Amino acid sequence: MTQSTETLVKRSKLPSKYARFIVPLVLTFLMTFVVAGISTWRVAGGSDIFFAKWMVSWMISWAVAYPTMIVFMPIAQKLVFMIVEKPQPPKPKA
């Protein structure tokens, strides 16, 4: 990779402050893809309309899942932090 290409790749990344929106975006996108596919398969089976029905179901479920994840992610994190012990900082070497 040339230096100008490396610079372009480095500059094309979003700042880390956006991770709180990008993680749920990717997670819900993939999760609803799989879940909608399974649910559609149960209803439509391997018929000719399966793929079209799957895509419609996926987009509807993703449109609901992403905003839901944005709202409930902080609540879920607080609940997890109540259950999971905080990591201890490493002890300095003597």
pTM listed for this prediction: 0.70
Q: What are phi and psi of 89, to 5 degrees?
A: -65, 150
What is the SS3 assignment for 65?
helix
Reading the block at residue 23, the tokens are 């993680």
Per-residue pLDDT reduced to its tens digit, 2-55: 666 666 556 788 999 999 999 999 999 999 999 999 999 998 888 889 999 999
CB 58 within 8 A of CB 37: yes
